[in-house]
Amino acid sequence: MLPLGSCGVGVSDRSDLQDFSVCSSDSFWAAVARQRLSWIRPFHTVQDCDLSQGRIRWFEGGKLNVSVNCLDRHVHTCPERVAVIWERDEPKSEVKLSYRQLLEMTCRLGNLLRRRGVKKGDCVTIYMPPCPLAVASMLACARIGAAHNVVFAGFSADALAERIRDAQSSTVITVNQGVRGGKVIELKKTVDAAIQSCPTVQQVFVAMRTENPVVMTAKDVAMEEEMAKEDTVCEPAGMDSEDTLFLLYTSGSTGKPKGLVHTQAGYLLYAALTHRYVFSYHDGDVFSCVADIGWITGHSYSVYGPLANGGTTVLFESTPIYPDPGRYWEMVQRLKINQFYGAPTAIRLLLKYGDKWVHKYDRSTLKTLGSVGEPINTEAWEWYHRVVGQGRCPVVDTWWQTETGGICIAPRPADPDAEIVPGMAMRPFFGIKPVLMDTEGKVVTSNDTSGALCIAQPWPGMARTIHNDPQRFTETYCQPYPGYFFTGDGAYRSKEGYYQITGRLDDVINVSGHRIGTAEIEDVLNQCSAVAESAVIGFSHSIKGQGIYAFVVLKKSIDVQEADVTRQINDMASKKIAKYACPDYIQFAQRLPKTRSGKIMRRVLRKVVDSELEGLGDLSTLDDPEVVQEIIQGHHDLL
Ligand code: WTA
């Protein structure tokens, strides 16, 4: 029984509630927002949205503080309940923090940030691996009204610098060194390199993850030492519902990564509600989302959703195979994890190591298994369900995006007993109305068809805009199908009306669950001195989901060895973006297939890489059809 009946919605049956949440969206969200969030001042308007204009506003007039919702209210009722379990890289060395401890840590840091001049409306960049101080940093920003910009700690100095500059941060929070898979990562040094090109940065807070000292400059602040001097009480800022809570950069099909803007009340409410219902989270459960906090999955399901619900959340710092491929399941046994939420790429990797690593450990505490970030193939789904979950735990394949703030389509948003079809996200969450569009931009009404996936009405968790580029937001998401939110994904709707995501419709690819634009990689390749031009294609990869295949044309005037260029390309991709941006294959070509107007025909390249030579399609617009044969030959030679 959904505890929503008591909130005045007056509907008890779950399928009725789903209909009600869509058809009477304002009443639904108003009731849930009143019931589930603590407000400093109530809102007067549920929503003021016009998707065709890109205007999205929820709960206006309301004031609240997100950190109070995530911490103080639970400290009042159960101060000693465990809020976070930090599963450190070193196995069996977990650290637990109660709600009281996490609140104290957050308050000390909030006071420190305030004392060092961080103000409401500023944006603080956080470059840290998952750890309690990273969560406290996010919540401390929320406490004092600053926005945060968490940058995945695997990003290079250049990528970090680009994000700091766009966010105009004057404060950066980092750790001396990271530790992952037994290796030490020089995060502070990366920040030092990044801020060389960030004139706005005035101070860098450095926490100590390891005992190794690092060189401290005039800008650096020893974080723990300074926090120890602060008070454990910090006055929370009263924030408007639509003030920015955070920026999070993600890749699009063209141009630079975009800083999506999420705001306070709507985001928090949506993260909390999805966390509770999609995973059937109950009080006292131990929830483990193994995504990094640098991605939206970590934001919504390692931090905000579980903490808003007063839950216990696991922060995973390690890798699925360190020190061996039993890591996840040993952790499940030791921490008595009830919900485990991970990425298909890791499941596929572990599947290859065999069942023995799973069987070694007791997984009887597990109740729900979740999958996110990319399509989960049937083999991986079955293994996750049968071997990991012993056939008794539902596997929920959850579809959503950085833009949507939280899960939008998942098998069990409402009914914990509903049927689940392997490899399908299936059903929309409360308040979500998915539609499919045909190639003419019309809504597809029949079932057993595919189309471009749009969402027909706004929901509180959706991103509001792109930082510094509101026009790009409107153009990308609101204008392709006026009045609808366009996701960029394609989907199939089955005879029964269930949704299955078929993949991106644009040039965004998903490598080991990391989202990246092929244009971003091309941009890097083209910066290599010997490269004349390049084209990057995603291809189906048995572990990573998608791999990166680069076609590279070298400058004729330069005499270089291909092996040297390969090395240079890999160095550049790691340096400019991150290690996962390095191509799996580089095919050197004399020229690329182009139209007469000079556009690279990616469709042809994609077909060659996918070995679909019969389906090359119409080649009549090619400038020189001969090129295709050269490309096919080169592809054969490479594999
Ligand atoms: C893809 C991650 C298939 C999709 C939460 C989307 C999925 C992009 C699924 C967003 C899923 C996410 N099945 N594809 N269950 N979940 N995707 O912003 O292409 O990092 O558009 O958010 O990942 O990636 P992002």
User: Over the stretch 83-108, which tens digit does the pLDDT of each residue have?
Assistant: 999 999 999 999 999 999 999 999 99
CA–centroid distance, residue 374 to ligand 1 (Å): 5
Q: Give residue 263's pLDDT.
A: 98
Say whether pTM exceeds 0.90: yes
Tokens representing residue 285 in the block: 């459960």
Amino acid at 414: A
Report the residue among 378, 420, 501 best suited for mutation to probe ligand 1: largest number of ligand atoms under 8 A from its CB. 501
- According to DSSP, residue 414 is labeled S
Evaluate if residue 577 carries a pLDDT over 60. yes
**Atom 23 of ligand 1 has which residue's CA nearest to it?**
373
Mean of per-residue pLDDT scores for the chain: 94
**Atom 14 of ligand 1 has which residue's CA nearest to it?**
374
Evaluate if residue 2 carries a pLDDT over 60. no
Of residues 559 and 467, more confidently modeled:
467
Evaluate if residue 69 carries a pLDDT over 60. yes
Evaluate if residue 570 carries a pLDDT over 90. yes
Angstrom distances, CA of residue 30 to CA of 41, 59, 276, 430, 459: 14, 8, 18, 13, 12
Q: Give residue 6's pLDDT.
A: 39
d(CA 623, CA 621): 6
Whether ligand 1 lies within 6 angstroms of the CB of 510 is answered as yes
Q: Give residue 128's pLDDT.
A: 98
Whether ligand 1 lies within 6 angstroms of the CB of 399 is answered as yes
Evaluate if residue 622 carries a pLDDT over 50. yes
**Atom 7 of ligand 1 has which residue's CA nearest to it?**
374
Angstrom distances, CA of residue 591 to CA of 361, 569, 585: 54, 18, 17
Q: Give residue 4's pLDDT.
A: 53
Overall average pLDDT of the 192-198 stretch:
98
B/e letters for 287-304, b = 16+ CB within 10 Å, e = fewer, are: bbbbbbbbbbbbbbbbbb
Whether ligand 1 lies within 6 angstroms of the CB of 66 is answered as no
C-alpha gyration radius of the chain: 24
Evaluate if residue 156 carries a pLDDT over 70. yes
Yes or no: say if 334 and 362 are a contact pair by the CB < 8 Å rule: no
- Name 498's Cβ contacts closer than 8 Å, sequence gap at least 6: 421, 424, 426, 427
CA–centroid distance, residue 407 to ligand 1 (Å): 10
User: Over the stretch 482-533, which tens digit does the pLDDT of each residue have?
Assistant: 999 999 999 999 999 999 998 899 989 999 989 999 989 998 999 999 999 9
d(CA 193, CA 190): 5
Evaluate if residue 38 carries a pLDDT over 50. yes
**Atom 25 of ligand 1 has which residue's CA nearest to it?**
401
Q: Give residue 1's pLDDT.
A: 35
ipTM over 0.90: yes
Angstrom distances, CA of residue 302 to CA of 118, 134, 287, 368, 634: 25, 11, 8, 16, 45
Which atom of ligand 1 is found nearest the CA of 403?
18
User: Over the stretch 278-321, which tens digit does the pLDDT of each residue have?
Assistant: 999 999 999 999 999 999 999 999 999 999 999 999 999 999 99
User: Over the stretch 369-419, which tens digit does the pLDDT of each residue have?
Assistant: 999 999 898 999 999 999 999 999 999 999 999 999 999 999 987 677 889
pLDDT-based confidence at residue 11 (cuts at 50, 70, 90): low
Q: Give residue 31's pLDDT.
A: 98
